Amino acid sequence: MATIAFQGKPINTSGELPKVDEQAPDFSLVNGRLKNVSLANYKGKRKILSIVPSLDTPTCAASTRIFNQKASSLENTVVLIVSADLPFAQGRFCEAEGLKDVIPLSTFRSNFAETYGVKIIDSILAGLTTRAIIIIDESDKVIYTELVAEVVDEPDYESALAVIS
């Protein structure tokens, strides 16, 4: 379990992020066509997992826009935006915002949040994913992690992107 904060108050997650230099756990997430996708769908590519509570919040929306902007210049890299939002809502958000360089994936029908240690287990946010960045290389090894200490804060984009530039 990890302790983070929501508006200055401590809250807890279901576990710990995967460790750098370890193989990333496989996952099953739901895409906009209601199909399950896993690490194998992105075989041979670097994967940036931008994990957010909900795209329907200002900070999550801002970080998704920033990653969309940065993703267009990254070679052999996919940016996966992971949230507890339903795939329909994720799709509407990305369409309304004109975001075409990120791939929204839902934890709907998935144990991803528990496996990756990002499920919030208490507070009014219980059941959502906390804000985190996990970068996985072409061989599915974790090369970077950041668990954002305060849920309402944005991640450290520069440090995250520095590991793949």
Question: Which domains are seen in the chain, by residue range?
Answer: 3-162 (3.40.30.10)
Find the catalytic residue in 60, 94, 147, 161: 60
Tell me which residue of 74, 73, 57 sits closest to 153, measured CA to CA.
57
Predicted confidence (pLDDT) at residue 42 exceeds the cutoff of 90: yes
Report how far residue 165's alpha carbon sits from residue 161's, in angstroms, rounded to the nearest whole number.
6
Active site residue 60: yes
User: How many other CB atoms are found less than 10 A from the CB of residue 7?
Assistant: 10
Beta carbons of 79 and 67 less than 8 angstroms apart: yes
On the CB side of 134, CA atoms within 13 Å amount to 29
Tell me which residue of 55, 119, 131 sits closest to 93, measured CA to CA.
55
Q: Which residues of 86-115 are buried (b: 16+ CB within 10 A; e: fewer)?
A: ebebbbbbbeeeebebbbbbbbbebebbeb
Q: What is the pLDDT of residues 44-70, one digit of tens each?
A: 999 999 999 999 888 888 898 888 888
Residue 57 is predicted with a pLDDT of: 86
How many helices (H) and strands (E) would you count in the chain?
Answer: 4, 9
Predicted confidence (pLDDT) at residue 165 exceeds the cutoff of 80: no
Residue 148 is predicted with a pLDDT of: 96
